[in-house]
Amino acid sequence: MSKLTFIDFCAGIGGGRLALDNLGMQCVGFSEIDKNAEKTYRLLFADQEKNFGDLTKINADELPNFDVMIAGFPCQSFSIIGQRKGINDKVNKKGEIIFHLIEFLIAKSVKFFIFENVKGLINHDKGRTLKIILDELDNAGYCVRWKLLNSLDYGVAQMRERIYFVGVQKEILGNNEFNFSFPLKNPEESNIKDFLVDDAELYFDDKQQSYQTFKKYLNNKYNKDKFIIAELLNEEYLVIDTRQSDLRKYYNRVPTLRLGRHGILYVKNGKFRKLSGYESLLLQGFDKHKAQKAKDNILDTHLLKQTGNAMTVSTVQAIASKFLEFINNLEANNMNMF
C-alpha cells in the first residue's frame, strides 16, 4: 500500500496528527479555528499544510482526496462537566460538528477514520446521542468499533478517559468481517518522574498572593483539619488537585488535564510546584523535542489550555497502529480495493 494520507480535523495542537505522523502517514491538511492553537500546531509541524479553517464552512469540493480522517470533535456539548446539550445544542452548534464530519466522509469517500470524544458521550441522553451517531455512520456506509480507553494505560501518567471510534468503509470490507480489536493496556505503569521534569522555577510558595488563597482553601469546610502543609511537602512527587472544593491527592499520576481548568500542583525537592505547559505536553504523549520547542515559543498559559483540549498522542498511536495491522491484512485479501 502507498503511504496513507489524512486530514486532521478539529486539530487543536496536533496530538492526533503526531500519532499518525509517527506511523508514517502523510498529512495533507488540517482544520482548526483557534488561532493560538494553530500557532502552536504550525510551530510543532511543517508549515506548508493548509488550514481549511471552520469546518462548518468548508466546501467538500475544496478538500483534497485523502484516506484517513482523524478528529477529536468538540466535547463541550457532551462533557459531564458541561450542560450536556449534545446534538440539540442550538447555542454554539458544536454538538453538530460530527454531522459535518460525516458529510465529508461521504463526499470524499474516505476509507478510514479515527474519532475521539469525552467519556460523557456514552451516557448522554441515556445513550441516545451515541446511538444516533453510530446509526448515522452506519447509514453513511461505515462499519464502526468504539471503546472507552484511559491514557494512563498507554504510556503516560495521566488519567484521561476518552471514547474512541474506528471506522472503515463497508465497500472496502467486502465480505470480510471488521475484526478490529483495540490495543491492550501497557503491562507496565508509567513513572510520574519521567513527566514532571521541567527545570523552570515554577515554585508555589508564600512569595505569591495565590498561596494565601491556597491556605484559605485548606481551611474551607471540606479540607479543614485534614491536611498539614509540612506533611504534604514530605511526600515527594505527590500530585495535588485543587480544582474541586476538596483537595485531592494522587500518586504516580495526574488527574485529567482540562481546557481552562488548572490548579494541579506537585511536590518536588520538598517544595510545591505548578504543573507547567511543558510537562502537560509530555503528559499528553508529545516528545521532549516538540515540548521544548513549544516551551521556548508559546506562553505557558496557552500551552496549559491547549494541552487540556488535546488528544493523547500515545493512545491514538496505539489505536492507529492496531488499525494499520487490520488495514494491511485487509489489503492482502483485497488488493483491488486499494
Residue of 10, 27, 75, 143 marked active site: 75
Catalytic residue flag (residue 75): yes
Residues 302 and 318 in one domain: no
Predicted structure pTM score: 0.91
How far are the Cα atoms of 18, 50, 112, 138, 297 from residue 301, in angstroms, in the given order?
22, 26, 35, 41, 12
- pLDDT for residue 7: 98
Give the separation between CA 72 and CA 306, rounded to whole angstroms.
Answer: 13
Pairing of strands 238-241, 264-268: antiparallel
Residues 27 and 111 in one domain: yes
CATH of the domain at 99: 3.40.50.150
pLDDT mean across residues, the chain: 90
Top pLDDT among 110 and 79 is at 110
Residues 145 and 281 in one domain: no
Mean pLDDT of 129-150: 95
Count of domains observed in the chain:
2
Residues 203 and 321 in one domain: no
- Expressed as residue numbers, the domain containing 246 is 192-308
Q: Reply yes or no on whether the pLDDT at 85 is more than 60.
A: no
Each residue's pLDDT tens digit, 183-205: 999 999 999 999 999 988 889 99
Identify which of 34, 102, 116 has the alpha carbon closest to the alpha carbon of residue 313: 116
Residues 12 and 134 in one domain: yes
Each residue's pLDDT tens digit, 23-50: 999 999 999 999 999 999 999 997 788 9
Residues 157 and 72 in one domain: yes
